[in-house]
Amino acid sequence: MLIRLYLLLLLQILSCYSIETKSKLNFDEFFNYTTFPLLKFSSTGRHLLIQTKRPSWNTNSYENTLWLYDIQNQTKKFITTNLRTSIQPQWSPSGNYIIFLPKNHSSINKQQSEEYVYLYSLHSDTVLPIQIGKETPLALTWSNNDSSIYLAVKSIDEENDLWKDVIQYRENIIRKTSIIYRIDFNSNNHSLPVEKSLIRNVSFLINQLLYTPFGEKLIFSSASVVIENLDDFELYFIDLRNISVLSKLTNNEIVETALQLSIDGQHLFFLAWHRSSNKKLFNDTQNRLYSINLANGIITRFGEHFDGSIDGYTI
């Protein structure tokens, strides 16, 4: 009994001592934290791509930095801080390249300036620009090789020159269209010009774009700047062997986010962000995880008995 009392007294003394000696966070330190928006292994499993995000007080913004971690050698290599966050960096199929979009610093004549994607080579430790045109990029994905990507861009408004600085809010925000291109380049000789081929136009904005060799499909999610009609947020696919047909994967009045393909490319996973609608098909619920069988279109819910909100997942 005496031994137990002694141990309890000792633990209390140690806990009080640790509390007294631990320094308190000040206001600046409390907000000076780092998050990791992206952690992704290469297809070889030898490298980890890391994106960090931390406050940059001097610029009144956030600093988004891209790092490459060598798992075997346990070394970290800096790639860039000039990173646009609207489109996540992606590994090439072989794991030898990383493609990302640079931050657009230009505030004058944005619609007239050329856009670029950057290609980082693990072998040469170099970053090379690839010119993609003047349209604003919305989403991109690799094809089945390291020499081509599929790119979705926002179509240029033909009436911009007519209206100049006048903003037509309803017309300008809601009636947006996208264009999907295939861009081919020589990953070994970047001095050669790229080839840009039109796939097709779609009458909505594209939020995320994926390619799967299973059935040669391009899968993408539609989006709208104004959340008024949940029909504006659905999943579609294009069979690249017949690009004239646009097929709909969902019709469920939810917002589909965080699209990922299964390892074999036969299933599409996504998070469902539920919102109430005028049709009352769904009530507000917590985020859920679903998958679609791309062969038959059957949708399956994962974690059906989990009561919490699923905010992220990995495959």
Transcribe 258-292 into DSSP letters.
EEEE-TTSSEEEEEEEE---TT-S------EEEEE
Q: What is the full DSSP assignment across 209-240?
A: EEEETTTTEEEEEEE-SS-S-GGGS-EEEEET
Which one, of 260, 258, 287, lies nearest residue 272 by Cα? 287
Percent of the chain having pLDDT more than 70?
Answer: 78
pTM of the complete model = 0.81
Question: Contact 181/153 with Cβ under 8 angstroms?
Answer: yes
Question: Contact 249/181 with Cβ under 8 angstroms?
Answer: no
Residue 85 has what pLDDT? 86
CA 63 – CA 307 distance, rounded (Å): 35
pLDDT above 80 (res 301): yes
Residue 292 has what pLDDT? 95
Digit-coded pLDDT (tens) for 143-187: 999 999 999 999 866 545 555 566 555 555 556 789 999 999 886
Task: Name the pairing type of β-strands 75-80 and 61-70.
Answer: antiparallel
pLDDT above 80 (res 2): no
Residue 64 has what pLDDT? 93
The number of beta carbons lying within 10 Å of the beta carbon of residue 85 is 14
pLDDT above 70 (res 47): yes
CA 84 – CA 63 distance, rounded (Å): 10
CA 110 – CA 286 distance, rounded (Å): 38
